[in-house]
Amino acid sequence: MFQKAKFWIFSVSFLIVLYGISAAFFSKREPYKEISVFMDVLHRVRDDYVEVPNMNNVQDGAMKGLIEALDPYCSFLTKSQYEDLQKRRENSRASAGIVLSKRSDVIYVVSCERNGPAAESGIRAGDYLIAINGQGVEDRSIIEVDSLLRGEAGAKLKATIFRNSRTQPLDVELTLKTPANSVVSKMLDDKIGMLAVSSLADSSVEQAKIKLKTLISAGAKKLILDLRDCAAGSPSDGAALANFFLSSGVIYFSQNRKGERVEVVEANPERCITDLPMAVLIDGSTGGAAEIAAGALKDQKRATIVGERSFGIGSSPKNIPLKNGAVLIISTARFCTPSGKVIEQDESLRNTGIQPDTKAPDDDQRQELAVESYYDDQDDAKYKQIQEKIEKIQLNKALEILAGMPGSIKKAA
């Protein structure tokens, strides 16, 4: 009995000391004050809520809100959510051809692959995704929603979207497809070869390599690399594309929260294909891997960038498994162009993305187009006409710039 009494006295004393140390620790270290507030909220919910709460659900909800408040690409997945996600990925051979982000905590369409299911169904860059097959996605992470837009080829989905020009949501039906040919090449006048890449995922980089060599063999003297509406693919895919035009130098690097370089990717001279003069087309739907390529070609003075500021997707995610089977997906580094420009800069959007060397359409042209589209944006035919005008303005500007460039004296095979 005496031993038990001593044990309890020791335990209580230890807890009191530990509490005192913890209180002193938290009061002195500013970053940890939020933890005490967080714990206080959990205790209040547990003790004072009108019904007995399921604290596991409360904890999961709190963690989800905490992580997703960091940036659009951070996620907290419970064990069951992560298992479901893995199953969907394993069974997904086709997709909607769409790249997503978040704006104002709502799922946002960054780009639609040209001739992909989303584009064919009428979904546009700039639309907000509200539901898939009638199931709301407002509380889901980007990675979850993306998985819901994948499946077997031929499967049909109903997507509910909101468009700023409309007062009511719009339902569109799309049919999933396996990735199609996302690289198109053609020879323009004056021996200008055009390579249009709408995705850098899957085998697209290899397709681009083959078609680039074909253009050169056909006698191209100058090049246009079209990266508009291109946001799919990994940073390594973007680096591989840039390397076709660079024989040396940094393509991109990533930096951690301290500003330290944690990965530096440089051009491999053996993978360089050509040094022909070139222009690169970008727009607000250029993102991710394509921004890696455009940023490298701009900073290395290898190409003139024409068009509009790109979207700004440039973080390195890391999956962190937790003891209970849940998974944290958090950004651990930011991607930077060779000059040190952070691609995914801030929520204000002022500094994010790749800025073109030559803006097209210019401010006057953009204002005219905005007036023209104001009342007719609901009309798909009118929308397509305006988009075609914008693309033509950008292409003509690139041709104008290339016309003033001297040809290359060296051409790789």
Span 329-339, mean pLDDT? 92
The answer, yes or no, to whether residue 30 has pLDDT greater than 60, is no
For the residues 76-94, what does the mean pLDDT come to? 84
Q: Is the pLDDT of residue 28 over 60?
A: no
- How confident is the model over 247-270, as a mean pLDDT? 93
> What CA–CA distance (Å, rounded) separates 244 from 134?
44
Helix (H) or strand (E) segment spanning residue 197: strand 192-197
pLDDT above 90 covers what percent of the chain? Answer: 50
pLDDT band, residue 332 (cuts 50/70/90): confident
**Contact indicator for 146, 132 with CB cutoff of 8 Å:** no
Mean pLDDT within 90-94: 79
Q: At 212, give phi and psi (nearest 5°).
A: -65, -45
Angstrom distance (rounded) from CA 243 to CA 361: 28
Map residue 10 onto helix, strand or coil. helix
Q: Quick one: pLDDT at residue 373?
A: 67
- What is the rounded distance in angstroms from the CA atom of residue 217 to the CA atom of residue 223? 13
Tell me which architecture the domain covering 183-315+332-403 has in CATH: Alpha-Beta Complex (3.90)
Write the CA distances from 52 to 55, 58, 143, 341, 365, integer angstroms: 9, 11, 32, 50, 60
Contact, 148 vs 88, CB < 8 A?
yes
pTM: 0.84
* pLDDT value of residue 86: 85
DSSP 28: H
Q: Which alpha helices (DSSP H) does 186-279 contain, by range?
A: 204-217, 235-243
Return the DSSP state at 353.
Answer: S
pLDDT at 6: 42
CA dihedral of 238, 240, 245, 251, whole degrees rounded to 10: 70
Specify the higher pLDDT residue, 12 or 272: 272
Fold of 79-175: Pdz3 Domain (2.30.42)
pLDDT at 210 over 70: yes
* Domain boundaries of the chain, sorted by first residue: 2-53, 79-175, 183-315+332-403
Whether 229 contacts 113, CB under 8 Å:
yes
